[in-house]
A and B are shown apart, each in its own frame.
Chain A
Amino acid sequence: DAGVIQSPRHEVTEMGQEVTLRCKPISGHDYLFWYRQTMMRGLELLIYFNNNVPIDDSGMPEDRFSAKMPNASFSTLKIQPSEPRDSAVYFCASSPFSGLGTEAFFGQGTRLTVV
């Protein structure tokens, strides 16, 4: 398997524009997580899905952020409208359900810059 695949790797956009980040989890994994990493706040869990269903979105910072998982092989994180403070590295991760002791597999991240 190629691992968790995220696209794009880098995104530069202007304030106010819509941004969509994409993630393809590892085939067969039941959990999908979206994280945001910044110098100030470290690694934050935004939302996670189990079997395509959102379980906990309490980390989503504002209504400008939304996430979907229409099927087991694809998820999106959308920011509309984007703001400079959204600049961060966004990671997608997946894990299989083999009990709760299973580690997460991370993608290489999308570096988002909002100017």
Chain B
Amino acid sequence: AQSVAQPEDQVNVAEGNPLTVKCTYSVSGNPYLFWYVQYPNRGLQFLLKYITGDNLVKGSYGFEAEFNKSQTSFHLKKPSALVSDSALYFCAVRDIGRGAGKSTFGDGTTLTVKP
């Protein structure tokens, strides 16, 4: 079975400070990992993904994430937070070994960036 954990329900940072949203995963094989963002009253939007290769992945809006296989983590980061980054963030995993298109999402982390 595949699973994702986002250990923090809420992350608060000041504008201009670096931010980290944590994600750990569990799969039986090699993972495909995704981050999505959800703004109020909107659907989820794709931010970035790790498939293979470089462990540091860069995505939309200045976000990046680091894949760490030994720690089974895929934390989302941004060097300098903006108030407009405030939203709900979801980590998702897809197990390559499953041979199917099903992804498992974490419970989400609410990011609040204060001016």
Contact = CB atoms under 8 A, between A and B. Distances in A.
Interface of A: 4, 31, 33, 42-43, 45, 48, 50, 55-56, 91, 93, 95, 97, 100-101, 103-109
A104 B46 contact: yes
B108 A42 contact: yes
A48 B101 contact: yes
Nearest 4 A/B pairs, CB to CB: A106-B43, A101-B51, A103-B46, A42-B107
Classify chain B's interface size.
Answer: 20 to 34
Contact of B49 (A31, A43, A48, A103): A103
B103 to A, nearest CB: 7
Given A55-B101, A101-B94, A106-B45, 20 more contacts: A42-B105, A43-B44, A45-B103, A45-B104, A45-B105, A48-B101, A48-B102, A50-B101, A55-B102, A91-B44, A95-B101, A101-B32, A103-B34, A103-B49, A104-B46, A104-B103, A107-B43, A108-B41, A108-B43, A109-B43
A100 B96 contact: yes
Interface of B: 32, 34, 36, 41-46, 49, 51, 90, 94, 96, 99-108
A106 B101 CA distance: 15
Contact of B100 (A56, A93, A106, A109): A56
Nearest to A42: B107
Contacts of A93: 43-44
B102 A105 contact: no
Contacts of B51: 101
Nearest to B97: A100
Contacts of B108: 42-43
Contact of A55 (B42, B43, B100, B104): B100
A109 B90 CA distance: 16
